[in-house]
Amino acid sequence: MASVSSQPQFRYTQPPSKVLHLRNLPWECTEEELIELGKPFGKVVNTKCNVGANRNQAFIEFADLNQAIAMISYYASSSEPAQVRGKTVYLQYSNRQEIVNNKTAADVAGNVLLVTIEGDDARLVSIDVLHLVFSAFGFVHKITTFEKTAGFQALVQFSDAETATSAKTALDSRSIPRYLLPDHVGPCTLRITYSGHTDLSVKFQSHRSRDYTNPYLPVAPSAIDGSGQISVGLDGKKLEPESNVLLASIENMQYAVTLDVLHMVFSAFGPVQKIAMFDKNGGVQALIQYPDVQTAVVAKEALEGHCIYDGGFCKLHISYSRHTDLSIKINNDRSRDYTIPNIPIVNSQPSILGQQPVQMIAPAVPQYNGTQFAPTDQAVMPQPSAGWGPTVPAVPQSLPLQMHNQPYMPPGTLLQPSQMGPGMMQSGAPPATLPPYHRGHVQ
DNA sequence: AGCACA
């Protein structure tokens, strides 16, 4: 008889199946288009698109075998071939009886997108650029990036599937705008599907993964160098990590800035626990320790770039220190531990030339040697053109200098110009009027 | 244009 025997391929002799195999589909044919195609013949219960190396094959599964037969026989005798988007598609019975695992995550709308970045320089696309691109459609909760055989990929988590879908439809197969990429980076095209994930687990902030709902997540150990110093910041660049200890350098120091002045300025944002001043690069720097990172962050944001005195004098440059707990051995005019009132205050001889050793030993840092202290702290003070010294009158000496175990004073209480003497903190808004700290998109 | 897990 006309037996099919064991003829595997290239014959119209596949035994009937509820599942039809389609080929020569337009690229990235959608499930909707497949359903549209099969609907006239019966109920499409399952589809699978983007099959095969070229992603131009698909499967349609009907509820009933007769429906599949109806479709095959219709197009077998039709003058018009089956078409999707004007392109002829070829149908035959599948050699399987049902579609397996059709709902590959990529087809199910979810709140997490799987983004493949195509292009020679795909790997150079930073997580921050991705964040920027996808944030246009809603709050991006988390992003993880990874390298797979598919190339450089990212998972981008939105609040809900609707937001994710809007981003997907707008961005799929489009290229990242050039102006968002460094000049040397070539075109990068985004291929976007849904991911099966609903909530990414981001254990650390790093250059590969980010949790924007939790900015205080610890930074990845991989981003911490040998000395325990975190070297990769939240934007993946060499930004310093936040710390409860600030490193302040003072630019254009026309007037002497004393420990007490620093204490007063920084106390406006919370209790200052310890201060250590030292000379570095011909200027003066100070480490200011708060009990917590948040306070330090607020102080840094408020004070950075501001001048202690009017006229652009004693401009503060503030960065986060690598230290978390300063070890103050002796209270003197350059270092003080405000948390321990009974440390003896050593009345040291004035050290105009800055030779007075700083009485502190910070963890993870070798003993202070005067020149190599905190070598990796970011703040490098630009040398002020004008010199400074004892010839310049120390203006702030009339300032109120209550310093021992001074309780926390809310912002503004210390820095009102009326209380501060000449021109204190006038280079812009005093901390009391600074806008509240905003940390990107928290929540 | 020819049968599927990222």
Structure confidence by residue, pLDDT tens digits, A229-272: 444 444 444 456 889 999 999 988 888 899 999 999 999 888 99
A92 touches strand B (CB under 7 A): yes
CB A315 within 8 A of CB A255: no
d(CA A340, CA A161) in angstroms, rounded, equals 54
A94 touches strand B (CB under 7 A): yes
d(CA A28, CA A117) in angstroms, rounded, equals 17
d(CA A295, CA A314) in angstroms, rounded, equals 22
Q: CA of A132 vs C1' of B1, distance in Å?
A: 41
- Identify the pLDDT of residue A297: 86
A104 touches strand B (CB under 7 A): yes
pTM for this structure?
0.38
Of the pLDDT bands very low, low, confident and very high (cuts 50, 70, 90), residue A223 is low
Mean pLDDT of A29-43: 95
d(CA A41, CA A67) in angstroms, rounded, equals 5
CB A326 within 8 A of CB A277: no
| Residue A406, CA atoms < 13 Å, CB-side half-sphere | 24
Of the pLDDT bands very low, low, confident and very high (cuts 50, 70, 90), residue A413 is very low
Identify the bridge partners of residue A116 per DSSP, sorted by sequence position.
Answer: A153, A191
| CB-contacted nucleotides of strand B (7 Å) | 1-6
Of the pLDDT bands very low, low, confident and very high (cuts 50, 70, 90), residue A107 is confident
The yes-or-no verdict on residue A211 having pLDDT over 80 is yes
Which residue's CA is nearest to the C1' of nucleotide B6?
A104
Winning range, highest mean pLDDT, from A5-19, A275-289, A353-367 = A275-289
Q: CA of A134 vs C1' of B2, distance in Å?
A: 39
% of chain A at pLDDT higher than 70? 69
Calculate the CA A22 to chain-centre distance.
Answer: 43
Nucleotide nearest to A100 (CA to C1'): B4
A398 touches strand B (CB under 7 A): no
CB A160 within 8 A of CB A228: no
Write phi, then psi, for A41 (nearest 5 degrees): -110, -10
What is chain A's mean pLDDT, rounded?
Answer: 77
- Identify the pLDDT of residue A28: 80
CA distances, A199 to each of A23, A110, A155, A159, A196 (Å): 35, 10, 10, 9, 9
d(CA A14, CA A318) in angstroms, rounded, equals 75
The yes-or-no verdict on residue A372 having pLDDT over 50 is no
Of the pLDDT bands very low, low, confident and very high (cuts 50, 70, 90), residue A298 is confident
| A109 or A361, which is more confident | A109
Q: CA of A86 vs C1' of B2, distance in Å?
A: 21
| Residue A364, CA atoms < 13 Å, CB-side half-sphere | 16
Which residue's CA is nearest to the C1' of nucleotide B2?
A10
The yes-or-no verdict on residue A370 having pLDDT over 70 is no
- Identify the pLDDT of residue A255: 85
A95 touches strand B (CB under 7 A): yes
d(CA A127, CA A111) in angstroms, rounded, equals 18
Nucleotide nearest to A114 (CA to C1'): B6
Tens of pLDDT along A250-262?
988 888 899 999 9
Tens of pLDDT along A121-157?
999 999 999 999 999 999 999 999 999 888 899 999 9
Tens of pLDDT along A90-100?
999 999 999 98
d(CA A46, CA A61) in angstroms, rounded, equals 5
Tokens of A336: 């003080």
